[in-house]
Structure 1
Amino acid sequence: MILKLKQQNPASAGSAPVTDTPTVVRGVIDDIRANGDQSVRAYSEKFDKWSPASFRLSQDDINNIISSVPQQILDDIKQVQENVRAFAMAQRASIKDFEMEIRPGVHLGQKNIPINSVGAYIPGGRYPLLASSHMTILTAKCAGVPHVTACTPPIAGKIPANTVAAMHYAGADDIYILGGVQAVAAMAVGTETMKKVDFIAGPGNAFVAEAKRQLFGEEIGIDLPAGPTEILIVADEHADPFTVATDLLSQAEHGPDSPAVLITNSQSVGKKTIDEVNRLLEILPTADVAGVSWDRLGEVIVVENLDEAYEIADEYAYEHVQILTQKPREALEKMSNYGALFLGEKTCVSYGDKCIGTNHVLPTRGAARYTGGLWVGKYLKTVTYQEVTSPQESGELGRLCGRAARAENFEGHARSGDARAHQYLGDKFDWI
């Protein structure tokens, strides 16, 4: 049995005005592809009221900006980046190059090569997301990426100094104060003053996400498709409704389209959580955003047992899944579809977002069914190589290749094999 104490409000969810985002984005991309810096500047003036002599910050600019940042913030940035670096380097160490000899003289190998150039987009609209600098730039550097171009928009016509500090300490090679589709397009196609990148990572609004989607494959690789932040909490009868409510709202404040879902085996916990959410919204400074998200997309689902809760949670396949039960590690065995798990009441999604060290760029909108989030491996190209040094084995492979290729009617492929069978084993062929 499933009891929904609260569910999404379809009427409210559909009340927002409709914008043809793909068409708008395509127009901007095409314009920048045709006109380069001139169009980048025009869109920056239009969307951000920002048109400096140079969008790129010089080293002197960076030094002056960082000098304006309070020392405590700088120290915190460095501490968080130490956490992110430690985890990312451990991930990198887990990815091995190898070579094996499958038969005498037949060598197969694998190498993991960093992408040559990466673009990192650091959002700055509603909130300056310093943490995205750690997650995108620093992780790329841990993977060995030689050059990272980083873009972040101005906020209310000003340079976001804290974000610039985070980008610099993360290892960005070039920092641009440039936002939106114009930043993504400029990095992807290249302009007179910005070198084209091979890959773009980082979250953003619907227009940034659409720009990445349209440019993917055509111009660049991307980390993953991005959507609104999601949180799902699985809680048992021992969970504290205040903690549950606080953690739900922590993600609902991301935007008015951020779903927050509780699945619990306790009707009491469900009802008390709703009461706590309503109480906390009266005092939360970001209630104007979080309240809209909760009203439109909040859900509380009561189930008979935790096995059912885990099953439903897997169907949602949400970005962040928090486990507030007496045995939170059960979720590691019971669940498979999530961007990241947060186990136990001492852990919260906000730790992952801001400081604990794992990456916060995660799959949304059900993408957790087939992919994980951003990690060191996303910045690596896993390539293979092969070498045959034994004449006998080359001839035997030639015979096998000939038969396998002709079974698929690939005569040209077959003859490459025939040539080795003829050269090394003396086989006779009509065409040779």
Structure 2
Amino acid sequence: MTDAAPKGFEQTTAYVKAPARDSIGDQQDVAGLVENILADVRARGDAAVRDYSVKFDRADVDVFEVSMADREAAVAELDPQTRADTEFAIDNVRRFAEAQLATILPLEVEPLPGLHLGHRVIPIDRVGCYVPGGRFPLLSAPIMTIVPGKVAGCREVVACLPPNAHRAMIAGCHLSGADRIFRIGGAQAIAAMAFGTESVPQVNKIVGPGNAFVNEAKRQVFGPVGIDQLAGPSEIFVLADASGDPRLIATDLLAQAEHDVRTRVGLITTDRAVAEQTAAEVTRQLETLETAGIAGQSWADYGEIVLCADEAAMIAYSDHVAAEHLQVHTRDAHGLAARLRNYGSLFIGENASVVYSDKTVGTNHTLPTMGAGRYTGGLWVGSYVKIATHQWLDDEAVLKVGPPASRQSASEGLDGHMKAAQVRVDRLHQAATA
């Protein structure tokens, strides 16, 4: 590791290994292939989906949709403790989503006499949830995308998962409340949900993480359908002062690093001893970690330790990174947390491990990466509803807003606008003098 001062953060000493990333450039090599897949599925529907399932997943699927009997069988095959833990997580995610939904209220106001403005909270009609297969059966994945959609009141929640995904994933989709489940993966799944096929209904919005092909497909279909976000590899940063426990910090960093060899993991600290001891702890723990082949490469290629001169510099650097997962291990964790602005989800104090959110506490783990935390939060129940405005005007309001609207339209050279604004005013004046 070598010392470096990141531009704009002169009060930091950074031990940086992570290369620069962006959501488009990282996927330039797959963009052309994805474009062809999308066009083919749009033109040939199920036939194209079947061809790509054979080509990429080595799965020749006759019927894409999972039958109710097969869904129930997959649930029955679950280990009883696994099912209980899954339902525990589902209940927590549901309760938190319900609490969030309760804060999204319809609105009716009268800012001027007779001028009535408002909005309604309308569930999106049909959403599509991409459920990644991954190296392991990630039972939390369907919970995070399907449950909020059901809480929001979407008429139909469709789930797609790779045809070779573990059967426990089908059980997870079923228990989470998916209305329909399809064994389709990759870019072809995104295409099928975006455009519709003979088997798969066209959805209004697609949510859920995936690999580079899934991410690029979501980027390319955006417009005709909505998407939640462009999610890159996972990220975790820990903010720590001299009170930080290097052993605990290293454990949490490696827990995320085992997700993918491109996971970005980092420590931002004001204490040199914590920085050095954490680096040593990572090396020590990798010796016995069963997933060291993944986590070790992630640490070697994308690990980062930043030593800051003071707390202000630590906050500035953290807000610049805008980490997907941000843990705060300081003496006054709540006080520091209140000063942070850019992150996907915040974990305050040593007890709040990212792993708990990943699995069971109830907050959503589908979060912004690659700096997107500077302008957006993660997936939540609000992602599944539309806030649609409305208005109506009594006669007295027309006499207030009509004349300035007419004059403004005339000044812009919009004669039709001017006449539409003025005709109602003139009609009211005529009625008053009749």
TM-score bracket, shorter-length normalisation: over 0.9
- 2:265–2:299 CA contact under 8 A, matched in 1: yes
Distance in 2 of aligned mates of 1:331 and 1:45? 51
Q: Pick from 213, 223, 226: which aligns with 1:221?
A: 226
CA contact (8 A) 1:122 1:130 kept: no
Q: TM-score, normalised by structure 1?
A: 0.93
2:56 & 2:404 partners in 1: Cα distance?
A: 61
Letter of the 1:348 partner, please give it.
Answer: S
Pairing 1:160–2:188 present: no
Deviations along 1:70-107, one digit per CA (max 9) or x if unpaired, are 11111111100111011100000000001112222221
Instruction: Work out whether 1:418 is the aligned partner of 2:422.
Output: yes
Aligned counterpart, 2:13: 3
Q: 1:278 aligns with which of 283, 297, 301?
A: 283
Given that 1:395 and 1:422 are in contact with CA atoms closer than 8 Å, whether structure 2 keeps it comes out as no
Which letter does structure 1 place at the counterpart of 2:200?
A: M
Of 104-113 and 192-201, deviating more is 104-113
Distance 1:152 1:26, change over 3 A: same
- Residue 326 of structure 2 aligns with which residue? 321
2:177 pairs with 139, 157, 171, which one? 171
Cα distance in structure 1, aligned partners of 2:428 and 2:216:
55
Code of the residue aligned with 1:301 in structure 2: it is V
Distance in 2, Cα, partners of 1:10 & 1:352: 27
- Misfit runs of 4+, over 4 Å: none
Partner SS for 1:381: strand
**Pairwise CA distance, 1:209:** 0.4
The letter for the 1-side match of 2:399 is G
Q: Is the CA contact (8 Å cut-off) linking 1:114 and 1:381 kept in structure 2?
A: yes
* Worse-superposed segment, 273-282 or 297-306: 297-306
The answer as to 2:394 corresponding to 1:394 is no
Q: Does the aligned pair in 2 maintain the 1:121–1:202 contact within 8 Å?
A: yes
* One of 190, 193, 199 as aligned partner of 1:193: 199
Question: How far apart, in 1, do the equivalents of 2:286 and 2:311 lie?
Answer: 28
Letter in 2 for 1:349: V
Q: Do the aligned partners of residues 162 and 18 (structure 1) sit closer, same or farther apart at CA in structure 2, a change above 3 Å counting?
A: closer
Match of 1:101 in 2: 110
Conservation of the 8 A alpha-carbon contact between 1:73 and 1:162: no
* Alpha-carbon shift at residue 408 of structure 1 (Å): 2.1
Q: Which residue of 1 aligns with 2:296?
A: 291
Match of 1:14 in 2: none
Q: Structure 1 residue 50 and structure 2 residue 63: aligned?
A: no
In the aligned structure 1, how far is the partner of 2:112 from the partner of 2:307? 58
Residue of 30, 40, 50 corresponding to 1:41: 50
**Residues 1:303 and 2:303 are matched in the alignment:** no
Instruction: Check whether the contact 2:13–2:306 (CA below 8 A) recurs between aligned residues.
Output: yes
Shift of 1:425: 1.8
Distance 2:325 2:413 in 1: 49
**Structure 1 stretches lacking a partner, 5+ long:** 12-16, 428-432
Letter in structure 2 aligned against 1:214: Q
Please give the residue correspondences for 1:100-249 in structure 2 after superposition, counting only pairs within 5 Å: 100-155=109-164, 159-217=165-223, 219-249=224-254
Any idea what the Cα deviations from partners look like across 1:173-213, whole Å, max 9, x if unmatched? Answer: 00112111111110110001111001000000111000000
Q: Distance in 2 between matches of 1:372 and 1:9?
A: 23
Of stretches 373-382 and 303-312 in structure 1, the one that deviates more from structure 2 is 303-312
Contact 1:234 1:324 in 2 (8 A): yes
* 2:429 partner letter: L
Runs of 5+ in structure 2 lacking a partner? 1-10, 21-25
The answer on 1:71 being equivalent to 2:77 is no
Distance (whole Å) between structure 1 residues aligned to residue 241 and residue 197 of structure 2: 54
Q: Give the Cα separation in 2 of the matches to 1:320 and 1:60.
A: 38
Q: 1:116 to 1:287 in 2, by over 3 A?
A: same
SS at 1:329's partner residue? helix
Q: Tell me, yes or no, if structure 1 residue 351 matches structure 2 residue 359.
A: no
Code of the residue aligned with 2:53 in structure 1: it is: S
In structure 2, C-alpha distance between the alignment counterparts of 1:304 and 1:395, rounded to whole Å: 62
TM-score w.r.t. length of structure 2: 0.93
Deviations 1:253-292 (A, max 9, x none): 1111111110111111111101110011111111111111
CA distance in 2, matches of 1:367, 1:120: 21
Percent identity of paired positions between Structure 1 and Structure 2: 43
Amino acid aligned to 2:356: Y
